[in-house]
Amino acid sequence: MGNLRNIPCGKTVTVRRVEGEGATRRRIMDMGITRGAQVFVRKVAPLGDPIEVTVRGYELSLRKADAEKILVE
């Protein structure tokens, strides 16, 4: 199990847990990134920030700091 930040482009992973607390965790979960969700990593910016993913049928950009809080397998 690792975090979403370390997943290479073109891979699909399953969310196992969202770490953090308070508003940050709630915001990530409100975007549809919840336990069991399938996340496809579409693109990673040249400097690694942001990461573009597809989750629940829509495209989403995440900051590196937020992607580190999403544990996947």
- Regions of the chain with pLDDT less than 70: none
User: Up-side HSE of residue 34: CA atoms within 13 Å toward CB?
Assistant: 6
State residue 40's pLDDT score: 97
Using DSSP's 3-state secondary structure scheme, residue 40 falls into strand
Predicted structure pTM score: 0.89
State residue 33's pLDDT score: 94
Architecture of domain 2-72: Roll (2.30)
State residue 21's pLDDT score: 87
CB 40 within 8 A of CB 8: no
Cα torsion 21, 23, 25, 30 to 10°: value is 150
State residue 64's pLDDT score: 92
State residue 49's pLDDT score: 84
State residue 12's pLDDT score: 95
